[in-house]
Amino acid sequence: MSCVSLCLRSAALVWYGLLFSMLVQPANAGMILKVDPVQKELWFTGSDSGTISHSGSYNVEWKTPGLVTSSQQVSVASALSLTTTPPGLVFSSFFSVGQSGDMSLYLFADASSGTNRNLQITGNGTHISYASLSSGYQTLLEAAAANSVTMSLGSSYSGSGFASVSLQTASGGAVPEPTSMAIFGLGALGLAYHKRRKIKA
């Protein structure tokens, strides 16, 4: 086997591995809150599911450890796709930044009565501006994202079975790195070369 053939086959194997890692995601891995400090935007990726019970209303909260202090809020309802089983609830969704650097995500649905329901939450990629926050609160949010702060499910509300929500810094959309593109190109070339050898044989 020539050196070129070996390199192309190796590249093809790497390409298969990258493709598999993108397609296979762990179940109920939780959501990620992406923060773009350049565009002053945030959005959610990933999905999660759990159970919500009725206690005067339906509400779920994720928060950082400690007491939530005086805060400023951003409505994130358009950034989350929410589905309940049985259906019928309409949720309000807010992300809050506290003056001590505490963070919380709160979902609320008003209902006079009800039973336990399954709630499926999916980040739909819609970008929300957080430019309305005061500059100090923006700085706190961006620092939390840079440090990959995690918000855990609060115990004082009616949600259970949900994973944590992590904050991450992002810069615009997901653009493939040059190295990744080169690997994909070599992989495609390796597959074409292998197919051509089979046809000749």
User: Is residue 11 in a domain?
Assistant: no
User: Is residue 152 in a domain?
Assistant: yes
CA distances in angstroms from 128 to 86, 112, 164, 165, listed in the order given: 29, 31, 21, 17
For the chain, which ranges sit under pLDDT 70? 1-29, 67-68, 156, 172-201
Name the burial class of residue 112, with classes exposed (0-12), middle (13-18) and buried (19+) by CB atoms within 10 angstroms of its CB: exposed
User: Is residue 67 in a domain?
Assistant: yes
Question: Does the global pTM surpass 0.85?
Answer: no
Output the pLDDT for position 86.
Answer: 86
User: Is residue 122 in a domain?
Assistant: yes
Output the pLDDT for position 115.
Answer: 84
Output the pLDDT for position 68.
Answer: 64
Output the pLDDT for position 113.
Answer: 72
Output the pLDDT for position 45.
Answer: 96
User: Is residue 146 in a domain?
Assistant: yes
List the end-to-end C-alpha distance of the chain, in Å, as a whole number: 15
Range of the domain at 69: 27-172
Tell which residue, 44, 5, 3, 68, has the closest CA to residue 197: 5
User: Is residue 18 in a domain?
Assistant: no
Tell which residue, 63, 57, 45, 21, has the closest CA to residue 155: 63
Structural domains counted in the chain: 1
User: Is residue 9 in a domain?
Assistant: no
User: Is residue 58 in a domain?
Assistant: yes
